[in-house]
Amino acid sequence: MPETTEVGVGDDPTFGVKGQTFATCHRVGDRESVWFKASPRTRSRLLSNGDDRRFFTPPYVGQHGWIGAWIDENCDWSQLDALLRESYQMTAPDAQGDNASRRENATTLIARAS
């Protein structure tokens, strides 16, 4: 994704664009996860789906519109790709193009993958 940077120390890389974070990886207990921004619609769909084996509300940032996904054998990598792209598009400055249409495309991909 354009102008994306990876920062972070140790095992918890953080991904951002123009100094704003859109995804971060965390080990929670013995499981790896990625946390990212999500639209209210996406959060509602993923969390109300009852599929707590794949998605969760992360501590601290969950109240600010973030969602967590376990990245293990149950991970749907195509869906995660669409979710991370949506997070990037929510974060990327408008100067990078038509974010509204990109956001709509990401939402369509997420809905198909759910």
Torsion angle of alpha carbons 54, 59, 63, 67, nearest 10°?
Answer: -20
Question: Which residue bears the tokens 């974060």?
Answer: 91
pTM for the full model?
Answer: 0.79
Whether residue 106 contacts residue 89, with contact meaning beta carbons closer than 8 Å, is answered with yes
Helix axes 40-48, 99-113, angle to 10 degrees: 10
* Neighbouring residues of 4: CB distance < 8 A, sequence distance ≥ 6: 15, 16, 17, 88
Tens of pLDDT, residues 3-60:
888 987 667 889 999 889 999 999 988 999 999 999 999 999 898 866 558 899 999 9
